[in-house]
Structure formats: structure tokens, C-alpha cells
Amino acid sequence: MSIEVRNITKRFGSFTALNNVSLEVRSGELVALLGPSGSGKTTLLRIIAGLEFADAGSGQVCFNGEDVTHRSAAARQVGFAFQHYALFRHMTVFENIAFGLRVRPRAERPAESEIRRRVAELLKLVQLEQFEQRFPSQLSGGQRQRVALARALAVEPKVLLLDEPFGALDAKVRKELRRWLRELHEKVPITTLFVTHDQDEALEVASRIVVMNEGRIEQIGAPDEVYDRPANPFVYNFLGNVNLFHGRIHEGLVHLGNTAFAVAGHDAAASVPAIAYVRPHEIKVLSRPNGVGSLPALIRYVNSAGPLVRLELERADDRGPFSVELTREEGRGLALQPGAQVYVELKNLRVFADDYSI
Amino acid sequence: MAGAISRLNRPTTARRPTHDPVWVRWTLTLTALAFLGLFLFVPLAAVFTEALRRGVGPYFEAFRNPDAIAAITLTLTVAVIAVPLNLVFGVAASWAIAKFNFLGKSVLITLIDLPFAVSPVISGLIYVLLFGAQGLVGPWLQDHDISIVFAVPGIVLATIFVTFPFVARELIPLMQAQGNDEEFAALTLGASGWQTFRRVTLPNIKWGLFYGVILCNARAMGEFGAVSVVSGHIRGQTNTMPLHVEILYNEYNFVAAFAVASLLSLLALVTLALKSIVEARSHSIQTVQP
């Protein structure tokens, strides 16, 4: 089932949590809502679930084109997993999962044998068959989250909404569960929307990412799209590491110190301050100038442990620091010593006029 | 595990930083015991010795008196009305306060505490001023032949007022600590409001609720001040057990006074026993289920 959000605004007192947000999620997609805390991503998720309501007259939430804006959470038939799981603490794992089936009106309620069969099936899906008689307090965080997902899936929701599903877990379990969630989505391909502040999680799990900031959507795109072609400085900063080079744009050229680089899309700009964004792995280190456009820099620090060689450098002109990642092979031919002078070529330079501050 | 290791590593003779010298510990313990003995155990023992001073016969004779029977019946009647009402009010108020945000919430929280802050005598007086012959609605009530003050309805009202905070005070912090997530989860799973309350909220608060009800009941049966003001002390009609004890005592009928008092004391002891069972029970639930 597809989800459509049109022009939703939500204010809490004087704080604007969502500012005229529109979003479309296609049927069967696995989409991440990514943003820093306070960006409005959880509020958006809760409005889609019906746990929160948008400001009066501000917009619509549609499921499969049908307006559900004023429908209650119970009537929307969404599966919702909470950050802190919200398992019913006085019920066993089995009863937690069976809850959604047991509260149905008598006419629609499945027979006890059918409930047992369904719960067993879900326990198998989340790999917790032997835990059905445990209480939530007797499970680990990862197990609890899997119970919460099974409980949400038990009512056969049209949409699965996950609020920071792995937020309260340690790093190793998070990684396992990410893979598990992707596999689960392949097995049970319902439209899934999950909230996260972890860019790696979004990049690894989602088929599309919605980057949010200060109640607005900054960019929507496939993981490689938002990573490689960020729409604005915020997305650049939020997704992955990035170096900032301060300079000026003038008639299609960006001047960084004494070096000019050609950039598309800024032909008209007449000498305005600008910031160039380059990812650490998009910088090439040379031992001598390439004659076309390379910046002189000093090596401050070298870390060659692990698969990549990480360098901390400093621009020779304005002493601005930046970092570079090289493969071991790329680093081999160069004399990488702290204090050595090198030249850097910026391969994938993106320039934004300097009206944005972090 | 960590505790076991650190205990093994520590020399047994070493002084722990939290351990005070022996004489300090003994002095404090003995002071506390002496205080408890003087102010709690001695009076309690006195109640029972005075009641049984002339033997078992006169002791039970005190309960055969029609006025005593009327007082016991009235006390039970008041408790049977006041406790369930405050159970419902308490749950409703704490549900509203813990689960929702609304205008005037802090005022409501303060109002719930009001009966604790006001002297019980004042609480009784409020009803006399409202419903008494010279009171605001007194004449209207008289015209319609309804008696509230110096009658059972007044006693019930005063008792409800005085015992109002017990259930709510017990539940509000508990419900606030538990948050809304489980209720929201039940909602997204299709449960109705009533199903959510009965299957999710109620099981989570049942021990706190029980505890509040026990305390509420103990106070409802033992309340003296507020009830004394509104009751009018009509023997056999508007005397509750505490008031009956007072009358008997003032008439130098010590055995009967202490006999009825011993019944109230027994109630207190039962309450304490129930309270500690409930506390142990709710504690074990909470430690198993964080």
C-alpha cells in the first residue's frame, strides 16, 4: 500500500516540528526518514500512524489514495514499532504477539488454534521460537525489538512504521538487525518506513532515503544518489564525512587560494564567498603540482592502520585543515610523512554559495 | 558476579567506607527502637490490655451493645460507599494526568492534594457551611426534606473528601513512569480504549491500585475529625466507630471504649500486613520486569 503525505504542518507551541511536508512512499518500498534529532522525522512517522495529528487544516495523509487524515490509529491498520519496544510487560512473548488478534471484534477474531498457528509462524520469522513463554524483561534488547516487530506484523498491517528501531541497541546487534530487517522486508514486502538518525543504517537498509532537517525535507533519493549528489550543504554534512574549502566564486570558477577550479552552474555569480565540499576519498594526493589545478598542502598526521590510509592535511595558503582517505596502493608511491609538502587534486567538487552555516 | 569477585578480593577485616563505628550503629538502632516502642508498641499494647482488663466477657459484651453495632455498621457502610467511589475517581484522575496534556493539569494535581493540606476539621466544616441549616444550600435542602449534615450522607461526603488523594497519589507517579508507549502500541494493534485500559493499563497498575485502596480504606474507617464535625454524634444513627470510642471514653466506660478501639487497631494491623504483602509483591514484579 502506498503512503502519501501532502502539505503536513505540525506545531508544538511555538516550535514548528513539521513545516509543510509532502512525501510519497510507493507500495512495497523500504524508506528511511533520516535526520538529526529535532528534525521532525519521528513526528512525521507518528502522524502517518495516527498517534499524532497534524495541525488543523494543514494537509492530508493518504493510504493508497484514500484519505485517512482523520482516522484513528486503530482504524489505520498500521504496524508500529517503538524505539523502546513498548512490549506489554505483564504478558509473555506469545501473548504480546497474539494481542492484536485477541482484541479484534468477536466476529473477526480468529479461533484459538488459528491464533496459535499465526503466532508460531511469526515466532519462526523472527527466530524466537523457543522464547514464547518468556516475559519481555527476560529478553535482550535485540530480541525485544524482534518481538515488537512480530507483534506489529501479527495484525497483517498494510504499512510498517518503525521508530528508531535499533536506536537503543549496541553497535554489533544493530548491524545484525539491519541485515535481518532487509531480509525480512524481502520475505514480507510490505511498505516500510523507518526513522533513524544513523546515516549508515539508512544507507545500508533503505531503498530510498528522505533526509529531513528542521521540519523540512531536504532531499529524497536512492542511497547512492543522496550520498554522491547531495542537494545542499546540509545533506552533504549529514551524510558521510566531508571537507569544506572556503573560497570565492567568480564567473564559473571557484578560487581556493591561488588555484581556480571550474565548476558548473555558477556562471553568473560575480565574486561571492563560497564553500566547496569534497569527500575525503575524492581527493587525490600528488607529490608535485599537476599543472591544471592542484592545491599545495602540508601533511600533519598519517594513520595507515586498516584498509585505508587516512591523512590529516593543512592548506598551505590559509592553513585550513582537511582530511583525505587513500587506498593503501594509492599511498604506496607517495612519501607520506608528517610535515611533507604535497599537492591535492579535488575530483568531485561541489560548490555552494556561502549562505549556509553549520 | 562482580559483587562476588570484589568480596573475595577484599580482606575480611577491612573497614568498608560506609561502615560507621560499632557504638554509633548501636546508639542509632537503640534510639530508633526505643522511640518506636514508646510511641507505637506501648500504646498499641495498652489498647489491648485496657480492653481485656476485666476479662474476655466484658470485652465481647462491648460489641453486643446496639450502639456499638450501629457504629460498626455505619463505618462499614461509609467505607463501602467511599472507597469504590475514590477508586473510580482516583483511576480517572491519574489516567488523565499521567497520559494526557491539558490546560489546568497542574491545578488538578494541586487540588488532588488539597485534602492532605487541609485540616480534617476544616474539611468537615466546609460541608456544614454548605449544607447546614445556615449554609448556602441548607434552606433549599430543608424545603425538600433532604438531610445531609448530621446524617449519613454528610459523613460519606466528608469521608470521600478526606480519602480522595490516596488512590490518585499512588497511581500518578506509577503511571507517569510507565509512560504512554504500551497504550499507543495497543492502539496501533487495533484495541479500543476500553480494551487498552483493561488489558494493558490495569494489569500494569494493579498492585499500586490495590495499595492505594488499602490505605484509602484504612483512612475511611478511621477518620475522626471531618466526620466528627458533620456527624452530630447521634447515638445509634450517626456515630462511626472512632466517634463511638470517644463517647464511651468520655463516659468513663473504658473497657468498652478500648474494646472498640482494639477493633480499629486490628484493622490497622491487617492493613499493615496487607500493605507489606502488596509491597513485596509489586516490588518483585518491578524487579523482574523493568
Q: B255 at the A interface (CB within 8 A)?
A: no
Burial class of A318 by CB neighbour count within 10 A (0 to 12, 13 to 18, 19+): exposed
Q: B57 at the A interface (CB within 8 A)?
A: no
Sheet of strand A259-262: strand arrangement: A259-262, A253-256, A243-250, A272-278, A350-353
pLDDT band of residue A26 (cuts 50, 70, 90) is: very high
The number of angstroms, rounded, from the C-alpha of A222 to the middle of its chain's C-alpha atoms is: 11
Cβ B188–A80 below 8 Å, yes or no? yes
A135-172 pLDDT per residue, tens: 999 998 889 988 999 999 998 888 999 998 888 788 88
Contacts of B285 in chain A (CB under 8 A): 90
Of A78, A88, A90, the CB nearest to B188: A78
Of A74, A79, A80, the CB nearest to B192: A74
B165: Cβ–Cβ under 8 A, 6 or more apart, which residues? Answer: B112, B113, B114, B115, B116
pLDDT of residue B283: 64
Contacts of B189 in chain A (CB under 8 A): 74, 99-100, 103, 151-152, 154-155
The number of angstroms, rounded, from the C-alpha of B134 to the middle of its chain's C-alpha atoms is: 32
Pairing mode, if any, of strands A30-34 and A208-213? Answer: parallel
Burial class of A353 by CB neighbour count within 10 A (0 to 12, 13 to 18, 19+): middle
pLDDT band of residue A332 (cuts 50, 70, 90) is: confident
The DSSP letter of residue B144 is: T
pLDDT of residue A355: 64
Cβ A99–B199 below 8 Å, yes or no? yes
Mutant choice from A78, A83, A90 vs B, greatest count of B C-beta within 10 A: A90
The residues pairing with A66 across neighbouring beta strands, listed in sequence order, are: A63
Q: ipTM of this model?
A: 0.78
The number of angstroms, rounded, from the C-alpha of B231 to the middle of its chain's C-alpha atoms is: 20
Helix (H) or strand (E) holding A106: none
Q: How many CB atoms lie within 10 A of CB A286?
A: 13
Weakest-pLDDT range from A220-224, B29-33, B230-234, B264-268: B230-234
A189-237 pLDDT per residue, tens: 899 999 999 888 899 899 999 999 999 999 999 999 998 888 888 898 8
> In the predicted model, what is the mean pLDDT of residues B253-275?
88
Rounded Cα–Cα distance for residues B208 and B89 (Å): 15
Of A90, A136, A151, the CB nearest to B189: A151
- What are B44's three cell numbers? 498499641
Cβ A80–B199 below 8 Å, yes or no? no
Please measure the distance between the N-terminal and C-terminal CA atoms of chain A and give it in whole angstroms. Answer: 38
Q: B276 at the A interface (CB within 8 A)?
A: no
pLDDT of residue B13: 53
- Out of A133-147, A255-269, A341-355, give the one with best mean pLDDT: A133-147
Q: B200 at the A interface (CB within 8 A)?
A: yes
pLDDT of residue A334: 80
Q: In the predicted model, is pLDDT for residue B229 greater than 80?
A: yes
> In degrees to the nearest 10, what's the CA dihedral of A194, A196, A200, A201?
-40
pLDDT band of residue A269 (cuts 50, 70, 90) is: low
Q: B197 at the A interface (CB within 8 A)?
A: no
DSSP-assigned letters across all residues of chain B: -HHHHHHHHS-TTPPPTTPPPHHHHHHHHHHHHHHHIIIIIHHHHHHHHHHTTT-HHHHHHHHHSHHHHHHHHHHHHHHHHHHHHHHHHHHHHHHHHHH---TTHHHHHHHHHHHHHS-HHHHHHHHHHHHSTTSSSHHHHHHTT---TTSHHHHHHHHHHHHTHHHHHHHHHHHHHH-SHHHHHHHHTT--HHHHIIIIIHHHHHHHHHHHHHHHHHHHHH--HHHHHHH---TTTT--HHHHHHHHHHTT-HHHHHHHHHHHHHHHHHHHHHHHHHHHHHHHHHHH--
pLDDT of residue B14: 57
A97-121 pLDDT per residue, tens: 999 999 998 888 999 999 999 999 9
Cβ B188–A87 below 8 Å, yes or no? no
pLDDT of residue B91: 93
Cβ–Cβ < 8 Å for A205, A32: yes
pLDDT of residue B15: 60
Spatial CA neighbour of A347 closest among A298, A289, A281: A281
Q: In the predicted model, is pLDDT for residue B8 greater than 50?
A: no
Rounded Cα–Cα distance for residues A318 and A298 (Å): 11
Rounded Cα–Cα distance for residues A198 and B184 (Å): 25
Contacts of B198 in chain A (CB under 8 A): none
> In the predicted model, what is the mean pLDDT of residues A260-271?
72
Contacts of A134 in chain B (CB under 8 A): none
Contacts of A86 in chain B (CB under 8 A): 181-182, 184-185
Cβ B189–A155 below 8 Å, yes or no? yes
pLDDT of residue B62: 85
Task: Please give the residue that has the higher pLDDT: either B283 or A116.
Answer: A116
The DSSP letter of residue B240 is: -
Cβ B188–A88 below 8 Å, yes or no? no
Nearest-neighbour CA in chain B from A172: distance (Å): 23
pLDDT of residue B159: 93
Of A74, A137, A152, the CB nearest to B288: A137
